[in-house]
Amino acid sequence: MPGPVLELRVALTAADYERLVAFYQDGLGLDPAHIWTNEQGRAVIYEMGQATLEVFDEQQAATVDQIEAGQRVSGPIRFALQVPDVDLAVQRLLKQGAVLVHDPVITPWGHRNARLQSPDGLQITLFQVLRPE
């Protein structure tokens, strides 16, 4: 029997649609699953693997920010995207307008994490699992 939620879908509204599409599509190498372009507007959906929802209290958010970025920098929403190669993903996203918030670090939970800011200001953690959990 399926669980109470079947899919997590995050919807971003972009002031600069083309730039944000290039950021995710070219920067992460995503292929569009669905594209809408008509007189009502434009939209694209990227399938991004398994989805989870993390809910932190302020203290835990500050702890993670301290580990990944050296200080409290993220807002109420931050993406955390697992990638196969953090360095490669960072370089691709920087070419698409990301700002490096902090170089990759090894976390206490065995991941290699880098913190970036997307062109629209969203904080993004890229993580590579170094040792299985």
108-124 pLDDT per residue, tens: 999 999 999 999 999 99
% of the chain residues with pLDDT over 70? 98
The tokens for 129 are 């699992």
**Residue found by looking up tokens 């170094």 in the block:** 130
Domain boundaries, the chain: 17-129
Judge contact between 76 and 37, C-beta under 8 A. no
Confidence band of 13 (pLDDT split at 50, 70, 90): very high
Q: What is the pLDDT of residues 37-92, one digit of tens each?
A: 999 999 999 999 999 999 999 999 999 999 999 999 999 999 999 999 999 999 99
- The beta strand positions in 9-130, using DSSP E, are 32-38, 41-46, 78-82, 99-106, 111-117, 123-129
17-129 maps to CATH 1.10.3720.10:
no
Dihedral pair phi/psi, residue 87, rounded to 5°: -60, -45
**Is pLDDT above 80 for 2?**
no
